[in-house]
Chain A
Amino acid sequence: MNMQTDPDMLASIEGLTISLGQTRLVQNISFTIRRGQCVGLVGESGSGKSLTSRALIGLNEAVLVQSARRFELFGEDRRTAREADWRLLRGTRVGYVLQDALGAFDPLKDVFTEVRETLDAHRQGDRTSRRAMVLDALTKVGFPEPEMRSRQRSWELSGGLRQRALIASAIVAAPDLLIADEPTTALDVNIQARIVQLLAGLKSDGMGLLFVSHDLAVVSSIADYVVVMHEGRVVEQGPTAEVLGDPKDDYTRMLIAAMPARAPRGSRLSSVELPPVSRFVSNRTETSTDVALSARDLGKSYVYPDGSRVRVVSDVSFDLRRGEILGLVGGSGSGKSTVVKICMGLVDPDEGDVALFGQPWTRLPERARTPLRPRIQLISQDPLGAFDPRWTVRRLLHEALEIGAVPLRERDGQAEQLLHSVGLKPELLDRLPRKMSGGQRQRVAIARALATRPDVLVCDEPVSALDVSVQAQILDLLSHIQREIGLSILFISHDLGVVRHLCQRVMVMQKGEIVEQGEVEQVFAQPRHDYTRDLLASIPQMSGARADVA
């Protein structure tokens, strides 16, 4: 096929295979991208979606061997393209947007220089016209006050603005094809919605788009055509409405079912076996109060070295009732994490206090607090960071069992039972956490938290670093444990779908304050605060998918 026959064909890939030595990381992928079309590449980590997208801009490492029956960009065969050939294409004809905008920018350069770099590299225009092009690109991506704020450095910007700047640098030389690898994954849901809107605008201007994401819902809101990848293979591909509305493959069906926003509330999201956990029921008997954790008028400010004060939490009050799951949602920087630290007794509030089962908790000196700590346990977003890097799972669990006053000779047996109750095999006991998968690590974190037989569990974004299918298993596990042993859980998340699925009540936090709280159904059906409405409207909907939400 040549340029004359189909000028709208931007990329035409047939039978693309990428291998490392004998291992085939990507196998036999075929798709085409046309002008004004968006192809969504969906898959979990390790599915080969990033490798595939990077192949389209020649960014894969040389140790990876690529082969294809057809590999055409803009009507030209690129199978034997060298680095120098790719350099001519990058920026000018193919733009590339990464997930991590902070890592993609040089911290020493301001945004203007970063965006201009593409033009400099390709010697496009002169000084004045480059400046106009940069400002034009920044305006196009909705970067506010581009003249002034583009003098800021990337780390001085919010995540959303940074992502806009990154997209601006990708489109400044007006490429025909834009590759976006998880461009919204690190962003809050309302900012994510705006970035997707921006990309959709570029698409309708005639740009071709390859949108790579693990999130089916986001992809469905922009892609015309979806390619679902699993372990390096395409399991299903076709027009978005067809694939999502009538998935043929089991894996696609599982991906759709695993999305908490779509499943009936409280239903199972995965099909993993859930073993009994009753052995780890708290043995404390106390009926004095029905409120597990009670926060009153919490306030916290941080003082910067230059003397300026920033108020991160103000007037936060809530009750976590015995045996309920209470959700706390909010964007990044809303003060959620500080509330977590205050509730865990890791940061002292400036004002107000938290009571644990009616007893003083945050006001206690640490010496008096330590003996009470087994009652309230934390599960954090990144369990890898939460474990001593030198310790095996066995030592980690032993330490927690020691805190739970389990005698030394019983610890080995109980550690195995703990692993069993979170669905892990005892062989993992002598493994280092960093040699385990994200899902396994999070299970170990849950097992460790259960070891002290807590009454309260604080979960700080426990599933946001996980793939959807693993997220589904962890959510199922958490709600199973909660029911089995009657834990009270404070569940922090930026994902409203997850919160709606799991929690009975929810609080919405913005700029350090709780702007709304109530029953989940009520808050989601009739949000009273503007911010809540904004958040809810930003949840990506599965367009074209069958609506089987209860």
Chain B
Amino acid sequence: MSQKKLLLIGGAIWALLLLAALWPQLIAGYDPIQSNPLRALKPLGTEGHWLGTDYLGRDVWSRLVHGARPAMLMGLGATAIALVGGVLLGLIAGLGGKRLDTFLNGAFDVLFAFPDLLLALLMITMLGAGNFNALLAIGISGIPTFARLMRGEIRRIRNSEFVMSSTALGVSRRANILRHILPNALGPVVVLASLFVGRAITYGASLSFLGLGPARPTPEWGLMLADAQLYLSMMPWLAIFPGIAITLSAAASVILARALRRTAE
């Protein structure tokens, strides 16, 4: 598939996700929370419920659409935390003295040795389950990745010829950091952030699947997956659709990240 086509598809998925997150009522016909036991577990293609209903009789399509908001909040919110925290720590390590750098870099390395999701789980056990805590945990667990990249970029650019050349020109240290080092270092970090959005969405769904995220009856893809487990042999689509939603949104974020990287290069 051509790059352009791929980008178009990724963009379209993102547009749809944003629409669903901002105005779910526009595309979802039913309340995602109100249960209706009389209409429970309707199969695919039922009149009015084309994707069927779940065990409490809630419309699967409507729940999928309403699930976009927590997913987007998780993706963007956790990324924002990881980005801001990582950039700040990376800046301090990259620009600070040698001792501070050695300490921070050692800390990043230790944290980096753990898989992100494990770190997030660790954080959740300290903070307790919940929507906001899950977001915080995933965001914080992403900080070492960003901080390491940021530090590396800062050090590379700090020692590059053009920064030395503007120092020689008489540009002050502060101006050098703000005008030359920071803007040039941010490029790859922004690309990483766009990649991280997809990862955060997947991690968020994983945590809520494990019961560590938002509580029922919130329409959330991970929770929907968890609820579908009981009916897997009878009505596998209950699990397949939220699975597709998670995969598509993660894939769309990767596609956009790649396009962003190409323009950055």
Residues of A within 8 A of B (CB): 344-346, 366, 370-371, 373-374, 377-378, 380, 382, 385-390, 399-400, 403, 448-449, 452
Q: Out of A345, A366, A388, A400, which one reaches B180, CB within 8 Å?
A: A388
| Residue numbers in A under 8 Å from B170 (CB-CB) | 370-371, 373-374, 403, 452
Please give, as numbers and ranges, the residues of chain B lying within 8 Å of A380 by CB-CB distance: 161, 165
The reply to whether A399 and B160 form a contact with Cβ atoms under 8 Å apart is: no
Q: State whether B169 touches A452 (Cβ < 8 A).
A: yes
Q: Does B230 contact A (CB under 8 A)?
A: no
Q: Are A373 and B169 in contact (CB under 8 A)?
A: yes
Candidates A388, A400, A452; contact of B162 at CB < 8 Å: A388
B184 touches A382 (CB 8 A): no
> Closest CB-CB distance, A374 to chain B, in whole Å?
5
Within 8 Å CB of A448, what residues of B?
Answer: 169
Distance in angstroms between the alpha carbons of A94 and B234 in the assembled complex: 72
30 A–B contacts from the bound complex (CB under 8 Å): A344-B168, A345-B168, A346-B164, A346-B168, A366-B173, A370-B170, A370-B173, A371-B170, A373-B167, A373-B169, A374-B169, A374-B170, A377-B169, A378-B165, A378-B169, A380-B165, A385-B160, A385-B162, A385-B165, A386-B165, A388-B162, A388-B166, A390-B184, A399-B166, A400-B169, A403-B169, A403-B170, A403-B171, A449-B169, A452-B169
Main secondary structure of the interface of B (DSSP, over half): helix
Mask of B131-170 contacts with A, CB within 8 angstroms, 1/0: 0000000000000000000000000000011101111111
Q: Is B179 an interface residue (CB 8 A)?
A: yes
Q: Looking at A366, A374, A399, A449, which has the most chain B CB atoms within 10 Å of its CB?
A: A399
Residues of A within 8 A of B160 (CB): 385
Chain B residues within an 8 Å CB radius of A370:
170, 172-173
B60 CB, min distance to chain A CBs, angstroms: 48
**Known pairs A380-B161, A382-B161, A385-B161; A390 contacts B168 (CB<8 A):** no
Q: Give complex CA distance A373, B164 in Å.
A: 12
Smallest CB separation, A140 vs chain B (Å): 39
Whole-angstrom distance between the alpha carbons of A389 and B265 in the complex? 11
Residues 28-55 of chain B: 1 if any A CB is under 8 Å from the residue's CB, otherwise 0?
Answer: 0000000000000000000000000000
B183 within 8 A of A: yes
A346 to B176 alpha-carbon distance, docked (Å)? 14
- Bound-complex Cα distance A390 to B168 (A): 19
A380 to B161 Cα, complex, angstroms = 9
Closest to A381 in B: B161
Whether the Cβ atoms of B168 and A377 lie closer than 8 Å is: yes
Given contacts A346-B167, A346-B168, A403-B169, contact A386 B183 (CB under 8 A): no
Contacts of A400 in B (CB 8 A): 169
Residues of A within 8 A of B162 (CB): 385-389
Neighbouring B residues of A449 by C-beta, 8 Å: 169
Residues of A within 8 A of B161 (CB): 380, 382, 385-386
In whole angstroms, what is the CA distance A296 to B102 when docked? 35
User: What is the bound-complex CA distance between A488 and B179, given in angstroms?
Assistant: 30
- Residues from chain A with Cβ under 8 Å of B167 in the complex: 346, 373
Residue of B164, B166, B172, B184 near A389 (CB, 8 A) is: B184
In angstroms, Cα B251 to Cα A2, docked, is 63
CB atoms of B168 and A378 under 8 A apart: yes
CA distance A380 to B160 in the complex (A): 13
CB-CB < 8 A to A390: which residues of B?
Answer: 183-184
Which B residues fall within an 8 A CB radius of A? 160-162, 164-173, 179-180, 183-184
Chain B: minimal CB distance from A460 (Å): 10
Residues of B within 8 A of A382 (CB): 161
Report the separation of the CA atoms of residues A41 and B169 in the bound assembly, to the nearest whole angstrom. Answer: 41
CA distance A377 to B179 in the complex (A): 20
In the complex, what residue of chain A is closest to B160 when comparing beta carbons? A385
Instruction: Tell me the nearest residue of chain B to A376, going by C-beta.
Output: B168
CA distance A200 to B150 in the complex (A): 52
A389, B160: Cα distance in complex, Å: 11
Would you give the shortest CB distance from B165 to chain A, in whole angstroms? Answer: 4
- Measured CA separation A168–B162 after assembly (Å): 38
Task: Return chain A residues, CB-CB under 8 Å to B164.
Answer: 346
Whether B184 pairs with A388 at a CB distance below 8 angstroms is: yes
Question: Which B residue sits closest to A375, measured CB to CB?
Answer: B170
Among the interface residues A386, A400, A403, which one has the most CB atoms of the partner chain B within 10 A?
Answer: A386
Contacts of B173 in A (CB 8 A): 366, 370
Measured CB to CB, the closest approach of chain A to B123, in angstroms, equals 36
Once bound together, how far apart are the Cα atoms of A377 and B180, in whole Å?
19
Docked complex Cα distance between A432 and B205 (Å): 45
Closest 3 CB pairs of A and B: A373-B170, A386-B165, A385-B161
Determine the residue in chain A with the shortest Cβ distance to B183.
A390
Q: Looking across the interface, which residue of chain A has its beta carbon closest to that of B157?
A: A388
CB distance from A84 to the nearest CB of B (A): 32
Residues of A within 8 A of B168 (CB): 344-346, 373, 377-378
Given contacts A371-B170, A399-B179, 9 further A-B contacts (CB under 8 A): A370-B173, A373-B170, A377-B168, A378-B168, A378-B169, A386-B161, A388-B162, A388-B179, A403-B171
> Which A residues are CB-close (under 8 A) to B166?
388, 399
Interface centre among B161, B166, B169, B179 (most CB of A within 10 A): B169
Q: A100 CA to B254 CA in the complex, in Å?
A: 38
Closest A residue to B164 using CB positions:
A346
In the complex, what distance in Å separates the CA atom of A344 from the CA atom of B165? Answer: 10
Closest partner residue, chain A, to B163 (CB atom): A388
CA A386 to CA B169, docked complex, whole Å: 11
Residues of B within 8 A of A386 (CB): 161-162, 165
Interface centre among B166, B170, B171 (most CB of A within 10 A): B170
Residue among B167, B173, B179 with the highest chain A CB neighbour number at 10 A: B167
CB of B265, distance to nearest CB on chain A (Å): 11
Separation of A374 and B166 alpha carbons in the complex (Å): 11
Q: Please, how many angstroms separate the alpha-carbon atoms of A446 and B164 in the complex? A: 16
Please measure, in the bound complex, the distance between the C-alpha atom of A257 and the C-alpha atom of B14, giving whole angstroms: 63
Q: Which residues of B contact A377 (CB under 8 A)?
A: 168-169
Complex: A10 Cα to B165 Cα, angstroms = 50
Chain B residue, CB-CB nearest to A382: B161
Bound-state CA distance A96–B164 (Å) is 38
Which chain A residues lie closer than 8 Å to B179 at the CB level? Answer: 388, 399
Q: What is the bound-complex CA distance between A400 and B183, given in angstroms?
A: 19
Q: Hey, which chain B residues are within 8 Å of A344, CB to CB? A: 168
Tell me the nearest residue of chain A to B175, going by C-beta.
A399
How many whole Å from B195's CB to the nearest CB in chain A?
Answer: 22
A344 to B162, CA, bound (A): 14
Complex CA distance for A448 and B169, rounded to whole angstroms: 9
A450 to chain B, nearest CB (A): 11
In the bound assembly, the distance between CA atoms of A378 and B162 in angstroms comes to 11
A382 CB to nearest B CB, Å: 7
Task: Report the Cα distance A383→B92, complex, angstroms.
Answer: 30
Q: How far is the CA of A344 from the CA of B168 in the complex (A)?
A: 6
What's the Cα separation between A387 and B165 when bound, in Å?
Answer: 8
A399 near B165 (CB under 8 angstroms)? no
Min CB distance A41 to B, Å, is 32
Query: A366 vs B167: C-alpha distance in the bound complex, in angstroms?
Result: 10
Residues of B near A452 (CB, < 8 A) are: 169-170
- B261 vs chain A, min Cβ distance (A): 16
- The residue in chain A whose Cβ has the minimal distance to the Cβ of B187 is A390
A388 contacts across to B, CB distance below 8 A: 162, 166, 179-180, 184
B103 to chain A, nearest CB (A): 19
